[in-house]
Structure 1
Amino acid sequence: MNKFETLSDFWALVVEVWNQGAFGYDVGTILTALGVFLLFMAFRGLFTRFVLSRMHRWAEKTTNEVDDAIVDALKPPIRFIPVVMGIFFALSIFEFEGDGLELAGLVNRTLVVFTLFWILYSLAKPLGDLMQKGANFLTSEMIEWVAKALRIAFVLIGAAAILEIWGIEVGPLIAGLGLFGVAVALGAQDLFKNLIAGLFVIGERRLHTGDWILVDGVVEGTVESVGFRTTMVRRFDKAPVYVPNTKLADSALTNFSRMTYRRIRWNIGLTYDTSAAQLRAIRDAIAHYIETNDEFVKPVETSTFVRIDQFSASSIDLFLYCFTRTTDWLEWLEVKEELLLKIKEIVEENGASFAFPSQSLYIESLPGDPGDSTKASL
C-alpha cells in the first residue's frame, strides 16, 4: 500500500468520525451549537458592559436609593438570561426527536422558571426597602420579616414548579412527608416558639434595630437584627449575643432608647458644722442653676427639686432630683459632670464642705483621771 492510499484511508477515517460525531450528531452540528452558545456568551458580556453599566450609572444619579438597590439586585439574574437563551438556541440546532426533544423542552422550561423566580427572589429585598419609605404603619423589622418570608416563599414555589415540570407531583410528595414533618415539628418546638415570640416582639414594637435594651439576667446592648429564631444584640464590649426571641417576649425588657428624659438622682452630704443659712444658700443656688440651664428639664415639665433631706450618720444630706433633656449616654455624662463641678463651686463659695463617713468615740474616763471625760473623733 503506497502512501497515497494510506492518506486516503486516514482522510476517510476523519470524514467518518466527523459525520458520526457523538450521540448520533456530526461534529459540524455540535460545533455549530457550541458556536451559537458562545455567541450568546459574548452578547452577555457586551450587554453587561454597556446596558447594565449604563442603568447603574443612571440609578446613581438619582437621589432615591431604591432604584440603585433594584438595579444591583436584578443584575445577576438578568446576566443569566443570555445563558438561558444560548442554551435554548444551541439545543434548537440539534434536530431532536422523541425522548431527546422532550428532554430539551424540560431543560428549557426549567431554566426559564428558575430565572423568573430568581428575579422575584432578588426583588424581595429592594421592594422591602421601598415599603419602609412608603408604609409608616409598618416597622423596619416587620418589613424585613415580610421580605424574608417572600424570599422563602419564592424559593419554595419555584422549586415546586420545577419539580412539576419534571413530572414529580408535589402534593403526594408533601403528603408522604407528613409523618416526617410531624416528627420534625415535635423536635422543633423551640424553633416555632421563638418564631411566634419574634412576631409578638415585632408586632408590639418593643424594640427596633439600633435600640439600647436591657433584659435582666440576659443581656444589655444594642439591637442589630431581629431574626426568625434569635435577636442579635451587641454588648458594649462589642461581643455579639444571640438571644432567643422567647427571652425577649417573656422577660421584662427595658428600652433605654425610648427614654423621654434621663434622670440624675443624688444625695449630697454636707458636714454637720454647716449652718442653716449655708444650707439654704447652697440649696437655692443649685436649684437656680438647674432651673436656668437649658440642658435640664424645667420643673413644670417633670419632677425637679433640690431639698434638705435628712440627718444621716455623718452628714446633713441634700436630695437632688432632676432630668436632662438629652438621653444620649455620652452627652448625659458631660451634662452630669458640669453639674457636679457647679455643685462643688457652690459649696466652696458658701464656706461649707462635703462630709465623709466618720464616727465619734466618747471616753467617760481615763486611768488616773476619773473626773474627766474625753471625746475622740475617728
Structure 2
Amino acid sequence: MEPASEAASSVLDETGKEIDSLLSYLTVEALIWPLVGVFLVFILRKRISALCLVAVRALLKRFDVALSDEVSGQLKTAAEILIVTFSVYVTFEILVPDGVAKVFLNRVLASVAIVAIFGAWFQLSGPFASLLQNDKSSLVTSEAGWIERITQFAILLFGLTSLLKVWQIDISGALTGVGVLGAGLAIATQDLIRNLVAGMTNISEKRFETGDAIEVEGQFVGTVKRIDLRSTLVVGFDQIPRHIPNSELSNTIVLNYSARSHRRVMLKVPLLRSSTQEQIETVRDGLREYHKSCGDFELGSDAPDYIYVAELGPSSVDILIYVWTIGPDYEQFLAATERLTFEILKVTRAAGTGLAYPTQTLNVDPRSLPDFKAAD
C-alpha cells in the first residue's frame, strides 16, 4: 500500500505545481485577447456556421444532392458547437503550457467535439433512413423504423468507442467479442443481409416503383404493390400475390413496362391477292393519312413509324403497320387499336377490295374413294 500512496502523493504534488505555474502564467494581460477572440467567435458562431453550410450546399449541388431543412438545422447546430470548441482549443494551445492540465483540457474538448458530431449523426439517422422512401414507393413503416434503429445503434457504438479511446480506456477485448458475435450473426443471417442489400440497391437504382407493371423475364407479368427491404410484393394479372426476394429481382432481368413513354402497335393488314396495285396503294395511303391525323399516335422522332406493303403472303398481300401510341396507358392503347381496326375496315371497303383469310384448296381424286365405280 505504501508504494501506491507514495505514487498518488507524487502525482498530486506534480499536479499542484503545474496548477501554480499555470496560475502564475495566466495574467490579465495574457488572458484578455484570447478571451475576446473566443467571445467574438461565440457571438458570430451562427453566421460562421451558416457560411459553412452554404459552402457545403454549393459542393453538394454539383452532385445533384439537396439538403432538407431538418438536415440543415442539425448540421448547423453541430457546426456551431465545433466552431466554439475549436476556438477554445486554439486558446488553450496558446495559453496553457504543456503538462497534465493541457492534456486533460484537450481530452475534454475532444470529447465535446465527438459528442457534437455523433449527436448530430444520431439525430440525422431518421432523415437518412427516410431517403429510402419516395413519393411512389411505399416502404412499410416498420421496415424504415428498423433501419433507423440499426443506424442509431451503430452510431452509439462508434461514438462510445471514440469517446473511450480519447480517454485511453482499453476496450479491445470487448470489441473482439462484439466482432466475433457480429461475424456469427452475419453467417446466420446471410440470406437476410443479401436481401437487404439487394432491396436498397433496387430502390436506389429506381428500377421500378409502386404501381409499375413489370415482367420478371421468363416467369410472369404483374403490378408492383409494395417494395420492402427484404422482398417485393408483385400481384400478377391472375390476381395472385407473389413475395419475391429482392436478391432474385436484383440478379434477373426485369422489364418495366410502365417506364416506357409509348406503346407499340405492330400488325399486318392482309389484302386479297386479287387486289390491284391501285387498290393496295389506296389502302396504304389511307392508313398513312389516318395515322397522321387521328391524334392517337406519336409522330415525333423518338417513335419511328412504318406503314408499307411488306410482303406477299401465302394467300394475301400484307401491309405492315408499325406505329406507337401517344402514352403508355394500356386502356388508351386498346382504344387507339380499336379505332385503327375500324379504320382498316373502312379504308379497305372504300378501296373496293377486302381482307384475305387463309384458304386451302383440297383436290380429291374420285378414283381413290372406296365406293367409286368406273363407268363402262
| Structure 2 length-normalised TM | 0.53
Residue 171 to residue 156, structure 1, CA distance change in 2 (3 Å): farther
How large is the Cα RMSD of the aligned pairs? Answer: 4.1
Partner of 2:201: 200
Partner of 2:297: 296
Tell me the alpha carbon deviations over residues 30-56 of structure 1, each in whole angstroms, 9 at most, x when there is no partner: xxxxxxxxxxxxxxxxxxxxxxxxxxx
Contact 1:132–1:143 (8 Å) recurs in 2: no
In the TM superposition, 1:306-345 aligns within 5 A as: 306-345=307-346
CA-CA distance at 1:181 after TM superposition: 4.0
Q: Unaligned 5+ residue runs, structure 2?
A: 1-121, 158-170
In 2: Cα distance, 1:368 partner to 1:245 partner: 75
Partner of 2:256: 255
Residue 245 to residue 127, structure 1, CA distance change in 2 (3 Å): closer
In 1: Cα distance, 2:262 partner to 2:348 partner: 27
Partner of 1:150: 148
Which stretch has the larger CA shift, 282-291 or 210-219? 210-219
CA-CA distance at 1:326 after TM superposition: 1.8
* One-letter code aligned to 2:238: D
In 1: Cα distance, 2:152 partner to 2:199 partner: 22
Partner of 2:215: 214
Contact 1:261–1:325 (8 Å) recurs in 2: yes
Contact 1:283–1:307 (8 Å) recurs in 2: yes
In the TM superposition, 1:76-225 aligns within 5 A as: 124=126, 128=130, 148-154=146-152, 176=177, 178-225=179-226
Residue aligned with 1:360, SS: coil
Tell me the alpha carbon deviations over residues 134-168 of structure 1, each in whole angstroms, 9 at most, x when there is no partner: xxxxx857998766522444578899xxxxxxxxx
In 1: Cα distance, 2:155 partner to 2:129 partner: 19
CA-CA distance at 1:217 after TM superposition: 2.8
In 1: Cα distance, 2:300 partner to 2:363 partner: 45
Which stretch has the larger CA shift, 207-216 or 296-305? 296-305
In 1: Cα distance, 2:305 partner to 2:330 partner: 20
Residue 183 to residue 271, structure 1, CA distance change in 2 (3 Å): same
* One-letter code aligned to 1:267: K
In 1: Cα distance, 2:186 partner to 2:130 partner: 29
**Higher relative contact order, chain-length normalized (CA < 8 Å, sep 6+):** 2
In 1: Cα distance, 2:313 partner to 2:340 partner: 23
Residue 219 to residue 254, structure 1, CA distance change in 2 (3 Å): same
In 2: Cα distance, 1:299 partner to 1:365 partner: 61
Tell me the alpha carbon deviations over residues 184-242 of structure 1, each in whole angstroms, 9 at most, x when there is no partner: 32232222222222222122221122211111134422222222211111222332211
CA-CA distance at 1:307 after TM superposition: 0.7
In 1: Cα distance, 2:217 partner to 2:270 partner: 31
Residue 348 to residue 187, structure 1, CA distance change in 2 (3 Å): same
Contact 1:234–1:240 (8 Å) recurs in 2: yes
Q: Count matched residues.
A: 241
Quick one: percent identity of the two aligned structures? 26
| Structure 1 length-normalised TM | 0.53
In 1: Cα distance, 2:265 partner to 2:373 partner: 55
Contact 1:219–1:241 (8 Å) recurs in 2: no
